[in-house]
Structure 1
Amino acid sequence: MSTTSQKPWPPSAIDAASHGAIAFTTIYYEAYDEPTRRSVEIPQFYLPSAKVIWNGNTVAADPASMAAFLDAMPLSRHNPQTLDCHPLKPLPSATATAPELLITITGSVLHGPTVMQYGDHAPTQPSEYPRKYREVFVLRAIESAEGMQPKYAIQSANFRFIG
């Protein structure tokens, strides 16, 4: 039985993964929280074969099914509070040199009509309070040009309310 040791990713790859994760998170939640963009843009983030779990329920990743799922969601406002990113080894058959990324996000999310309220409105109903969530993504590089930040798509996503 032979074993090969995997060289650690160089600091530049770790730095690129971190910057990519921050950019991805910002773009993803901005699109998700904008009702006119959500069902059009979010399905484009996913590979057609992506595995998507939302609070223990499987969601089909094809654009039409994903759009229908997103259209059924109430208004939302995500407030990501922690973000952790790790580059993973590329798939053995992958020709791209960019690593897959494992991104873990925790934060709070508010759902429902109170998202649109501004000012000093104090929540009065439990449904008006934000809920804590944890979301884990595995991103796969789908385009990678020498010296450029790779373009990623979601291979796996798992959203779960916590607490």
Structure 2
Amino acid sequence: MAISDYLSGLRERVGHDLVLLPAVCILIWDDAGRLLLMQEAETRKWQTIGGMVDPDESPWDAARREAEEEAGVEVRLERIRAALGGPGYRVRYPNGDLCSYVSTVFDAVIVSGEPGAGDDEVHRVAWFEPADIPSLDLDPLNRHLLADAGVIGRRSLT
């Protein structure tokens, strides 16, 4: 996981303590109703495209930036699907850092570019039918997010 200069500076002051972070998730859909997901390079777990909102950046701009960085595509943000947070959005990273995310979830479509691994955080990207997503090796936060956003059923959380 890449860490921004802002978060790195914050971590120097607070150590591994809990940090509340604004984030975006971009649900990129194709004409067939499939969702574009990325496979994270280090863990090989599937997850949504997205990331942290930088200081002074709007969620809309962060979503477009993350789509470009992670999947190599320019997107049109169609709507805000959800704003999500709470206990299911808390993550303790292997280095001990504790974060709680509040994520603005956007529905989007590609306006230019061909989806591919856009940066070193991404092993690959692929399109999935929503019905096939519960069987993927998703990280817990993304499984929770996709259920809360109504992409997969609640029963697939177990």
TM-score (norm 2): 0.26
Which has the higher relative contact order, 1 or 2, with Cα contacts under 8 A spaced 6 or more apart?
2
Larger radius of gyration: 1
